Structure 1
Amino acid sequence: MEFTLLFLELFLNAMGLGFPLLAFFFLLITLLGQCVGRLEGWSRFDAFYWSFITALTVGYGDYRPSTRKSKLLALATATVGIMFSGVFVAVTVAAATEAFHRYTPGAVAP
């Protein structure tokens, strides 16, 4: 339990530091999705849904762009989504690594 609490503390601190970058990516994904939705004639909610399904690489396929412009924007959305996910994963791994090294003082650093 002590390790878990240490990890959560480090994770939340790191997420606080990374929040501006994650918020920027979130906003960019949302805006790109709304642009695609407008080009495709989707509702705002459907465009929001599509943008995050695409950005998080789930890709159900229930909504998909059909025009050249919206396909290009879909590529941008997916690219930003990879960066969004990458930051989240990097923060998680860094927090877990630091928690491990603090929790096990005799551990050898890689």
Structure 2
Amino acid sequence: MRRMFFFALVRQIRVVWPIISGILLTMVGCGLIIGRIENWRIDESLYFTFVTGLTIGYGDFAPQHLSARLLALVIGFAGIVLTGLVAAVSVQALRAADHNHAE
């Protein structure tokens, strides 16, 4: 059953990979721009990006400039979409594995 789930998960991820990669590129791009505005190092910018995008919270770093805060909103919304997409793909893979197991 586990093997069927992972096979179905990989198949589902292949289908939505262009969307997932676009969301990740948007998040990373916005994070690097925020880092440039706030004079953060690249590792701090990426850390901020994924903490903000995956937990919807600023965490250790918080942008001070208005433009950086607006870009942080974009990262937050992209993180919500990414989380929903991963959950949907996982559920679909579970359904496919259960359907194949029942046959």
1:70 aligns with 2:68: yes
The residue matched to 2:62 in structure 1 has which SS? coil
For structure 1, list consecutive stretches of 5 or more residues without a partner in the other structure. 106-110
- Residue aligned with 1:52, SS: helix
Which of 23, 26, 33 is the equivalent residue of 2:21?
23
2:9 corresponds to: 11
Identity of aligned residues (%): 30
Greater mean deviation of Cα atoms: 64-73 or 53-62: 53-62
Q: Which moved more, 1:39-48 or 1:60-69?
A: 60-69
Once the two structures are TM-superposed, the CA of residue 85 in structure 1 deviates from its matched residue by 1.3
Q: Equivalents in 1 of 2:60, 2:40: separation in Å?
A: 12
- Gaps (5+ residues) in structure 2? none
Q: Does the 8 Å CA contact 2:48/2:61 hold for their aligned counterparts?
A: yes
**Structure 1 residues 54 and 19, CA gap change in structure 2 (3 angstroms):** same
Deviant stretches of 4+, over 4 Å: none
Q: Secondary structure at the match of 2:59?
A: coil
| Alpha-carbon distance in 2 for matches of 1:73, 1:83 | 15
Q: Which one has a larger percent helix, Structure 1 or Structure 2?
A: 2
- Report the 3-state secondary structure (helix = DSSP H, G, I; strand = E; otherwise coil) of the residue aligned with 1:56: helix
RMSD of equivalent CA atoms: 1.3
Matched, 1:91 2:81: no
TM-score normalized by the length of structure 2: 0.92
